[in-house]
Amino acid sequence: MQQEYSLMEIKVAIFEDNKMLRESLQQLINASEGMACTGAFADANKLLRNMQLANPDVVMMDINMPGISGIEAVQIIKEKFPQVQILMQTVFEDNDKIFAAICAGASGYMLKKTTPQKMIEAIRETYLGGAPMTASVAVKVLQMFRLQSTGEKNEFIDLSEREKEILALLIKGKSYKAVASDCFISIDTVSTHVRHIYEKLHVHSKSEAVAKAINQKLV
């Protein structure tokens, strides 16, 4: 039976091969105000069809699944559904998995041991354009970006002064709402600037934009 969803609800799709965890996440999301789980899938092998069925705002993506991996799935989603935000939720804390997920276009990276309350907060933050990360993961990300920045050749990127200002605020972890307040502009205007920044940097997510800005000392 098809369920009707409020226009104000954040629609979330889950891709997770652990049945118990998948069902508990589904229940958690449906019990949270302003959220609805519109699809829960054991793998990403019918990704495009399931994405069209669920029509999510936010995807919660496991990394290690049978068939198409979570990282491959992120790349496909960002190509076919660029407006969808993706939150990785996984047991992996190793650098290559984290970096691969972020470079593929994931917005945030949370460990499965994260408390239910923090996971719901992470979904909301991801929906609003943030980049939530478990603290231990965030430390690793900063270390990786610092290491990578020593060997990466800079390219010329022509950002306007306003775009540089907004990018600098994003690097500080500011939300779109906070950026709008600091710059005395609307959230819609912030979104437009961020879209232009993504195009100029050839990236698909806030995480990638922040990584490239740090690597190439753009601000």
**What digits encode the pLDDT tens for the residues 77-89?**
999 999 999 999 9
Residue 98, pLDDT score = 81
Rounded to an integer, what distance in angstroms lies between the CA atom of residue 187 and that of residue 129? 11
Residue 6, pLDDT score = 45
CATH fold of 151-215 reads Arc Repressor Mutant, subunit A (1.10.10)
Name the class of domain 10-138.
alpha beta
Within 13 Å and on the Cβ side, how many CA atoms surround 214? 20
Q: Give the rounded percent of residues in the chain with a pLDDT score beyond 90.
A: 51
The two beta strands, 85-90 and 58-61, are: parallel
Q: How confident is the model at residue 4 (pLDDT cuts 50, 70, 90)?
A: very low
Q: Residue 6 has which token pair?
A: 């409020």
Task: Determine if residue 45 is left, alpha or beta; phi over 0 gives left, psi from -120 to 50 gives alpha, anything else beta.
Answer: alpha
Rounded to an integer, what distance in angstroms lies between the CA atom of residue 140 and that of residue 138? 5
Q: Where are the domains of the chain?
A: 10-138, 151-215
For residues 35 and 3, is the Cβ–Cβ distance under 8 A?
no
- The distance of Cα 106 from the centroid of its chain, to the nearest Å, equals 4
Mean pLDDT of 168-183: 84
Q: Residue 17 has which token pair?
A: 């091969």
Least confident span in 23-32, 154-163, 192-201: 154-163
**Continuous segment of H or E residues that includes residue 98:** helix 95-104
Residue 51, pLDDT score = 98
Mean pLDDT of 178-185: 93
- For residue 136, count other CB atoms closer than 10 A to its CB: 9
Mean pLDDT of 173-190: 89
Rounded to an integer, what distance in angstroms lies between the CA atom of residue 146 and that of residue 154? 14
Q: Is the pLDDT of residue 35 over 50?
A: yes
